[in-house]
Structure 1
Amino acid sequence: MAMSDKAQRLLENAYALETPDDSRAYYRGFAASYDEDFADVLGFVYPQKIAEIYRQISGPDDGPIADIGCGTGLVAQALDQSVQPIDGMDISPDMLARANEKALYRRTFEIDLTGDLGPICNDYGALLSSGTFTQGHLGPEVLEKLLGIARPGALFVIGVNKVHFTSLGFEAMLQALMHAGRISGLEAREVRIYAKDGHEHSEDMALAVSFRKA
């Protein structure tokens, strides 16, 4: 079944984002209807896949959780907040406002991940992300920065668009971090981004990369 014109337009515009200001402006326009007009219509299962992997491989010490690029809170919705406290981080104040309406997070931070992460505490036991590392968004250098807000042994489950993973050097960055002894237990699982057919990105895949800070 074909997607609605609105959902198709939102999807294409998301893939065209290039700068932090682009992201703020884009999500300002439809944060209030993101879940209904984008996630539901397109079958955006990416957040649930990341949450599922975290549940499968995490232990009782893998918290609190930092949800990187949390948007409206779809990863947190798929997790049990009673198990580990979750903090949400996103560049869009409008998306954070929608997430805060759901009362999913202990705290939320409006943060540009390309900038200074110093204001964020550095004791997270897990970092999760879905949809942040994709075309036009963030490159592999941000992964290295995120190590700075995690305590030793912290679990990372980070989704990276499969095409983006190779073309922007995520694979090379992760291998370099492994060889430098900064991360351990590196694994990658292929996951679907969208569950519904009918648009040109229906078959897009992501690599859910998991590892621990050494």
Structure 2
Amino acid sequence: MKPSPIDWRARLEACGFEGAQYVPPTFGAQVLWSWREPLAAEAALREQLEQQPEDKDALKTLISILRETGRASEEAPLRRQLHERRCRDLGVPEAQRNEVVAYLEAAETGSAPPERSSDAYVTALFDVYAPSFDDSLRGFLAYRAPERLMDAVRAALGGRRELDVLDLGCGTGLAGPLLRPLARRLEGIDLSTGMLAKASERGVYDALRAGEITSELGAATTLHDLIVAVDVLVYFGALEVLFERAARRLAPGGLFAFTVEKGTEPGYRLQPSARYAHHLDYVRSCAHAAGLRAVVEHEDTLRRQAGQPVIGHVVVLTGT
């Protein structure tokens, strides 16, 4: 990290800040940036990163300053550096890091996204988060997607039980206790072995296996009365293949139930959260192409993010 020739402490003092010589660089940067002194704030952050190269917060703030001051050519390599650190922290295998960095870049910059998230990213992310996943979702994120989806499923089933149920992207099995009363047999699939270990502890699944859900659906021969995907399609942009394969695995009268985050642009969009949002018209188009029709379809709050509600669509499909 190249140091800046600007004396940011002198700039603090010139603006009337006493004791600038004792101010840590990160705090100095915050003060200077709040005073709209971007070059001095940048100098403080570069000093901090010289002293502590692993300070991700300082790097993020520096990236923001470069972006807001129109210095994209300087921002881009630092942004890539930040994404590479994230890959390293998550334990993404080195061979897959470039594709994960490209995915995170697309999420942050709004450039053309891939059709789906990287399996390496999803696996690493949830292996790391598995131990704290439930507490984080239920507490800080006020996660209610399983309950919202199961309300819709029960309405569509009209009292039917003793079903063969497949939980796609089952994670730690938060939906498992809600699905169990409906199920003769309950199976779960997930990419993350860490999440599957937590799901197994619940003792409600008849079978759990690690796998990528599109591939698993394509290779399977078993039919299911109910297939659910709670908060899973946020890691898929294009839905055509997934819907077509899910439709082929439905028994006569079977249901495919899922949630998506609401998109306002046509098709799908990779959001800064690194999760996809889908326009409802696109979801309907994919369903129609797969020979499916909606029996339940409504908006609801699925969780919260940064203190704001995340609005999504709760959808239950069946064969046409």
Q: Point out the structure with max Rg over C-alpha.
A: 2
Judge which range, 57-66 or 141-150, deviates more: 57-66
Whole-Å separation in 1 of the counterparts to 2:229 and 2:311: 15
Whole-Å separation in 2 of the counterparts to 1:122 and 1:92: 22
Which residue is equivalent to 2:309?
Answer: 203
2:285 pairs, out of 162, 175, 181, with 175
Whole-Å separation in 2 of the counterparts to 1:176 and 1:27: 27
1:90-141 CA distance string (max 9 Å, x none): 111111110011112111121212435344343100111211111x445312
- The answer to whether the aligner puts 1:26 opposite 2:125 as a matched pair is yes
Whole-Å separation in 1 of the counterparts to 2:307 and 2:238: 20
1:94 pairs, out of 184, 189, 194, with 194
By how many angstroms is 1:19 displaced?
Answer: 0.5
2:301 pairs, out of 192, 205, 208, with 192
For CA contacts below 8 A with separation 6 or more, give which structure has more relative contact order. Answer: 1
Given that residues 263 and 280 in structure 2 are in contact (C-alpha distance below 8 angstroms), is that contact kept between their aligned partners in structure 1?
no
Structure 2 counterpart SS, 1:88: strand
Moved >6 Å (runs of 4+)? none
Percent of aligned positions with the same letter in both sequences? 21
Which residue is equivalent to 2:144?
Answer: 45
Judge which range, 65-74 or 51-60, deviates more: 51-60
Return the letter of the residue paired with 2:117: E
TM-score for the superposition, normalised by structure 2: 0.54
Give the CA RMSD over aligned residues: 2.8
By how many angstroms is 1:173 displaced?
Answer: 5.3
Structure 1 unaligned residues grouped into runs of 5+: 1-12
Structure 2 counterpart SS, 1:139: coil
Which residue is equivalent to 1:133?
Answer: 233
Return the letter of the residue paired with 2:243: L
Residues matched between the structures, number: 195
By how many angstroms is 1:18 displaced?
Answer: 2.9
Which residue is equivalent to 1:63?
Answer: 163
Return the letter of the residue paired with 1:48: E
Given that residues 151 and 213 in structure 1 are in contact (C-alpha distance below 8 angstroms), is that contact kept between their aligned partners in structure 2?
no
Given that residues 62 and 154 in structure 1 are in contact (C-alpha distance below 8 angstroms), is that contact kept between their aligned partners in structure 2?
no
Whole-Å separation in 1 of the counterparts to 2:286 and 2:236: 22
TM-score for the superposition, normalised by structure 1: 0.78
Question: Taking structure 1 as reference, are residues 165 and 209 closer, same or farther at Cα in structure 2, changes over 3 Å only?
Answer: farther
